[in-house]
Structure 1
Amino acid sequence: MGKKRLEDAIQKIEQPVEVVYRSFELDPTVERNVPYNIYEKLASKYGMSLDQAKANCLNMVQMAQEAGLEFNLDTLILTNTFDAHRLASFAKSQGLMHKMTDRLLRAYYTESKHIGDHATLIDLAEEVGLNRDEVTKMLSSSEMSDVVRADEQEAQDLGIRSIPYFIINKKYAISGAQPTQAFVNSLEQIIEQDGPFTKGEEQNGAVCDENGCEIPEK
C-alpha cells in the first residue's frame, strides 16, 4: 500500500521522481514451505487470538481496496522471500526492476502464488521479459545474494526495522503506508527546500526501498 500511495502522490506532484527498490526481509528465518497461514503467524508473533489477527488483516484488506489494490490474505502463501529478492535484484540489473517488483507483489498478495518456489519465480520472470534460462541459472546459484545482503545490511545500519520505509534525497525519511496526501505534502516540502528532483543526479534522486522502501547508492 505504501508503494501504491507513493506512486499516486508522484502522479499528483507532476515532477520527475526516480524510485529505486531495495531488498528487506521482515523475517529472514522463515522457511520456504510454511505449514501455517498469516493469521496463525500474526497471532503467534503478537500474542493475539486468531479472531483478532483476522480482524486486523480485514482492516488491511479494506485499506488496500481503498488504494485500488486487491489483497487475498485468506489464501496468501507465506514463504521465505530471499530468492524473490534475488530475482528482483537480477531484474534491476536488466532494467526491469519496476515490472518485476510489481509482478511479484501481485503474485503474492492478489494471486496467492508461492513466490518462494523457483518454478513460480521463473514463470513470473519470463512474464515480464526476462530470459527464462538466465533466471533458472541465477536461481540455481548464489548469484545476487551479495546484492540482497548488502541492501539488508545498509537498512540495518540506517536503523530500518519495518516497512514500508522511504528515504528521499538521502536525508528525509517517511515511514509507514502514509495517506497519499501526506506523501504529496512531504514531496512538495522537499521540492520547495531542495529544488526539483533531477533524475540521474545523486543528490536529488528520490529513492524508495524494495518491499516498500529504498536506500540510495553511496
Structure 2
Amino acid sequence: MEVTYRCFELDPNTERDIKENIYEKLSKKYGMSVAQAKANTQNMVQMAKEVGLDYQMDTLILTNTFDAHRLTMFAQTQGLMKEMTERILRAHFTESKHIGDHKTLTELAVEVGLNRDAVEKMLASDDMTEAVRADEQTAQQYGITGVPFFLINKKYALTGAQPTEVFVQALKKVIAEDAIVVLNDQDGVICDENGCEIPKK
C-alpha cells in the first residue's frame, strides 16, 4: 500500500505572523470560551499521546502554511515528500517552530536531505504553487472540508482521527471488494511459465 500526502489549507487567508495563540483563535472562530477551546484541544492532545505523539499546543505557533505545502511538493520531486511532511508536522506540533518562516523551512528541508540552495531558490519564487493549488482543487471536487481525511483507492473515505481498528476494517473491506472474482468453472486451458495444461474431461 502506498500513502501519498495531499495539500489542504484549513484557512488560506491566514497571515504568516499571528499574535493569537491556538486557544484564542479557536475561541474566536467557534464562538466558545478560551477555556472550552483549551479543553477541546486537550482531547486531541491526549489522543496524540496515546499513539506516541507529543503535541505542545500551549506554545504552538500559528501561521500561513502555503509555503510549507510548496516545500512538501518540492520534496516530492526529490522522493522525500513523506520525510519532509513528517518533519514539518513535528516541527509545528511538537517543537513549536514557525513553519511559515522561510529560514525555518529551509533548515528543516536540509535536515531531511534536500539541497539548501535549491530550497531557498524555490521558496523565493512561486515554484510549486500550481501543484499545491491542483491538490486543493481536487479536494474541493471530492467535497473535502476538513482534515484529517483519508481517501483509499479514490473511492473509500475515512474522516477525522480514527482508531487503528477502523483503518484495519476499512482496508479489509477494500481488499475484499477489490479481489478478483472468477465467474466460470475454470475448465478452460490454463497457461503459465511452464506451458499450457489442457483440463481432463
TM-score of the two chains, using structure 1 as the length reference: 0.81
Runs ≥4 in structure 1, deviation > 4 angstroms? none
Greater mean alpha carbon deviation, residues 116-125 or residues 175-184: 175-184
Structure 2: stretches of 5+ with no match in the other structure: 181-201
- Following superposition of structure 1 onto structure 2, how do residues 101-112 of structure 1 map, counting pairs within 5 Å? 101-112=85-96
Match of 2:8? Answer: 24
Alignment of 1:60-75 (within 5 A): 60-75=44-59
Which amino acid in structure 2 is aligned with residue 41 of structure 1? Answer: K
Aligned residue number for residue 143 of structure 2: 159
Q: Which residue of 2 aligns with 1:128?
A: 112
Q: In structure 1, what is the Cα distance between the partners aligned to 2:150 and 2:123?
A: 28
- Amino acid in structure 2 at the alignment position of 1:107: A
Residue 193 (str. 1) matches residue 177 (str. 2): yes
Q: Distance in 1 between matches of 2:59 and 2:129?
A: 29
2:122 to 132, 138, 155: 138
How far is 1:169 from its partner? 1.0
1:195 Cα deviation (Å)? 3.1
For 2:178 and 2:52, locate their aligned partners in 1 and report how far apart those are by CA, in whole Å.
Answer: 31
Shift of 1:157: 1.4
Superposition deviation, residue 176 in structure 1? 1.0
Q: CA deviation at 1:84?
A: 0.1
Aligned length: 180
Aligned with 1:161: secondary structure? Answer: coil
Q: Gaps spanning 5+ residues in structure 1: where?
A: 1-16, 197-218
Q: Structure 2 matches for 1:22-101, cutoff 5 A?
A: 22-101=6-85
Larger RCO, structures 1/2 (Cα 8 Å, 6+ apart): 1
Please list the CA deviations of residues 90-121 of structure 1 after superposition, one character each: whole Å capped at 9, or x if unmatched.
Answer: 00110001100110000000000000000000
Q: CA deviation at 1:173?
A: 1.0
SS at match of 1:162: coil
- The structure number with the bigger radius of gyration is 2
Moved more, 96-105 or 165-174: 165-174
